Chains A and B, each alone.
Chain A
């Protein structure tokens, strides 16, 4: 939804410098007995396309695939070197840094022998959707790693405290991505993260916007992981694969990352107390929630395979993410108004129609024509949701926001 043409420019320059590297895990994982591939390069068990032996071809991208965020690093350097630096709440920033330095999960991401056996038992269509889930999650974590690592590097001299937090967050994301890629190896696959780095489209956000997007990604990530974890904890029969047992500690990292972005946003009151900022907050909430809703409904089979109902799961995640977000964003969406999910459900239907047209044999120009009314439908739902009366929100530290004025504890 947020892809834009300019992101291609950065990809071109990335490609120009491209050096082909493959991921260590893909080549030297002791376990990989690479699956037999068919002459067409597809895995014989799942039909998954292979880039080369044991290395999965990255999934096709569309507006709903996990995004690689990038930003204007030079402007970021200026921001953190200048006004931002002086406005940061030093006490809060150092507290965040210390929290990351504790490294609660240093010893957490250690695999055991049950992974492989569990993966072997996942067969048929479930195997394919599991792989897809792992791939999407790995891609999302890895994109965080790339962005935070680069920010940590670029800001090192300018703002050492903020830079170190970014570096420690990239540590977490690398662990998560690595753990997920190891999980893929249980399915005789791996993602070539080097290839992905070079060939993925990057979604570009100006520095002032990227923190809304990353805040929401981290907090919604927390609510997704913890909801799956709690559900499986109470329904151990659905625990098909031991990775989910790691989610409780794992997602604390995501939540902490989100808190860091709260602290950054608070240092720039104009991101939180102007009427434009309220519109942007609503825009980012809407795009993140709707993207997840449509994505997950396209993959209901995955959530059903672990005993979750996709709609119930999604609505819960959105409602809670929205409440969390209300502790910092000056306005959030009224997701508890029935109209919100009614329109989301209508978009799920439209999305199905869109997929059906895409899969049909009609000539391209016919497909385009058929898609027009559906796209218009999307647009009208999105606009209606965007202009629904918002919920006034915000941190109590921002004295200008409504909650601060009427606070009770």
Chain B
């Protein structure tokens, strides 16, 4: 079934530098996999510094990612965002961090912080993910890709001010998956009024 393309994938000239894992190296690999396979917790792992709790009444730098509500909340592709947010809330709970992100529908700061040319391309109602954790937001932008991103200084209250009532009642979509979609409202626990 080879398309005859496979041979062109490897260059003959690189045969001399053919990778080869040395025996001693393999032993290390096995030591490593055995250690991990025995599911011992790695307590010594470097963990990033704890995030700052932005809900202290003072201004912080917030990052935002914004797109139309359908993309953010109702696209099959972004069901994985629901999983990520749940995972992060769980993780924050385990680490005893205060949750520093929320989903904001039609944020009040939108016009002020999104350039007009981009605003014109933004479907409404819009939903934004806001957080003070810059690295995580850079990662989320890498994942979501089709979003407008930016930052501003504000208090938690200002940054999360929006109108959750405007989240539309999404019409049923063409659904081919062997399971039903995430129930509407999965986002509710990430709305500003419900994030604790």
Residues in A with CB closer than 8 Å to B116 are none
What is the bound-complex CA distance between A162 and B149, given in angstroms? 25
Question: Does B38 lie within 8 Å of A95, measured CB to CB?
Answer: no
Residues in B with CB closer than 8 Å to A198 are 26
What is the bound-complex CA distance between A175 and B32, given in angstroms? 10
Residues in A with CB closer than 8 Å to B79 are 226
Question: Does B148 lie within 8 Å of A409, measured CB to CB?
Answer: yes
Known contacts A13-B20, A206-B9; is-contact A95 B138 (Cβ 8 Å): yes
> Interface-forming stretch among A31-39, A127-135, A316-324, A357-365?
A316-324
Question: Does A110 lie within 8 Å of B21, measured CB to CB?
Answer: no
Tell me whether A382 is interfacial, beta carbon within 8 Å: yes
Chain B residues numbered 139-153 whose CB sits less than 8 Å from any CB in chain A: 139, 142-143, 145-148
- In the complex, the chain B residue whose C-beta lies closest to that of A382 is B3
> Among B15, B20, B87, B134, which residue has its beta carbon within 8 angstroms of that of A6?
B15
Tell me whether B159 is interfacial, beta carbon within 8 Å: no
- In the complex, the chain A residue whose C-beta lies closest to that of B42 is A106
Tell me whether B167 is interfacial, beta carbon within 8 Å: no
- In the complex, the chain A residue whose C-beta lies closest to that of B47 is A101
Chain A interface, DSSP helix/strand/loop, else mixed = helix
What is the bound-complex CA distance between A13 and B143, given in angstroms? 39
What is the bound-complex CA distance between A102 and B136, given in angstroms? 10
What is the bound-complex CA distance between A334 and B20, given in angstroms? 38
Tell me whether B113 is interfacial, beta carbon within 8 Å: no
> Interface-forming stretch among A46-54, A79-87, A114-122, A144-152?
A144-152
> Among A104, A222, A316, A409, which residue has its beta carbon within 8 angstroms of that of B176?
A316
CB distance from A338 to the nearest CB of B (A): 13
Question: Does A255 lie within 8 Å of B80, measured CB to CB?
Answer: yes
Question: Does B139 lie within 8 Å of A259, measured CB to CB?
Answer: yes
Residues in A with CB closer than 8 Å to B2 are 1-3, 63
Range class of the A interface residue count: 35 or more
Residues in A with CB closer than 8 Å to B58 are none
CB distance from B64 to the nearest CB of A (A): 12
Question: Most A CB atoms within 10 A — which of B10, B137, B148?
Answer: B10
Residues in B with CB closer than 8 Å to A194 are 26, 30
Question: Does A24 lie within 8 Å of B38, measured CB to CB?
Answer: yes
Tell me whether A139 is interfacial, beta carbon within 8 Å: no
Chain B residues numbered 1-54 whose CB sits less than 8 Å from any CB in chain A: 1-3, 5-7, 9-12, 14-15, 17-23, 25-27, 29-30, 32-34, 36-39, 41-42, 45-48
Tell me whether A155 is interfacial, beta carbon within 8 Å: no
Question: Most A CB atoms within 10 A — which of B10, B37, B39?
Answer: B37
- In the complex, the chain A residue whose C-beta lies closest to that of B143 is A259
Give how many B residues have a beta carbon under 8 Å from the other chain's beta carbons: 74
CB distance from A333 to the nearest CB of B (A): 14
Chain A residues numbered 334-386 whose CB sits less than 8 Å from any CB in chain B: 375, 378-379, 382-383, 386
Question: Does B33 lie within 8 Å of A193, measured CB to CB?
Answer: yes
Residues in B with CB closer than 8 Å to A14 are 20-21
CB distance from B70 to the nearest CB of A (A): 11
Question: Does B3 lie within 8 Å of A383, measured CB to CB?
Answer: yes
Known contacts A194-B26, A222-B80; is-contact A263 B142 (Cβ 8 Å): yes
Tell me whether B103 is interfacial, beta carbon within 8 Å: no
What is the bound-complex CA distance between A74 and B1, given in angstroms? 31
Question: Does B142 lie within 8 Å of A309, measured CB to CB?
Answer: no
Chain B residues numbered 97-142 whose CB sits less than 8 Å from any CB in chain A: 118, 121-123, 126, 134-139, 142
CB distance from A222 to the nearest CB of B (A): 7
A-B contact pairs, 25 of them (CB 8 A): A1-B2, A1-B3, A4-B10, A17-B21, A17-B23, A19-B27, A21-B26, A72-B17, A92-B138, A95-B139, A101-B45, A103-B45, A104-B87, A145-B29, A179-B39, A252-B83, A252-B84, A283-B3, A320-B177, A324-B77, A382-B3, A409-B66, A409-B118, A409-B126, A409-B148
Known: A2-B6, A149-B32. 7 other contacts (CB 8 A): A6-B7, A13-B18, A14-B21, A175-B39, A204-B9, A204-B10, A320-B177
Closest 10 CB pairs of A and B: A178-B37, A95-B138, A174-B36, A24-B34, A17-B23, A95-B135, A230-B179, A327-B145, A231-B179, A409-B67
